[in-house]
Amino acid sequence: MTTIVIEQAEVRLTPQQLVTALQQLSPEELENVFRQLDSPSWQARFDELLTRVRQRADQNPITDDEIDAEVESARNEFYASRS
């Protein structure tokens, strides 16, 4: 579920609810939304985020086996806390 903050208001939407909301916009409003999402500043911020994620992955590589072990450990802790 996505949380959106709009002028101090917080709205929680599922992806389907977001799609439904977008479908209710006029063509002009929808075009404005797409233009803002496609803006260079948004794209630049997203590219920067991806770069940071990739750098961190390069600095601290983790194998699938290590991921599986971490997930299993977290599951075991969760199940133990429920007993």
pLDDT digits (tens, 9 = 90+) for 4-63: 766 777 888 899 999 999 999 999 999 999 888 887 888 888 899 999 989 988 888 888
Whole-angstrom distance, CA of residue 13 vs CA of residue 10: 10
Which of the four pLDDT bands, split at 50, 70 and 90, describes residue 1? low
Query: Are 63 and 55 within 8 A, CB to CB?
Result: no
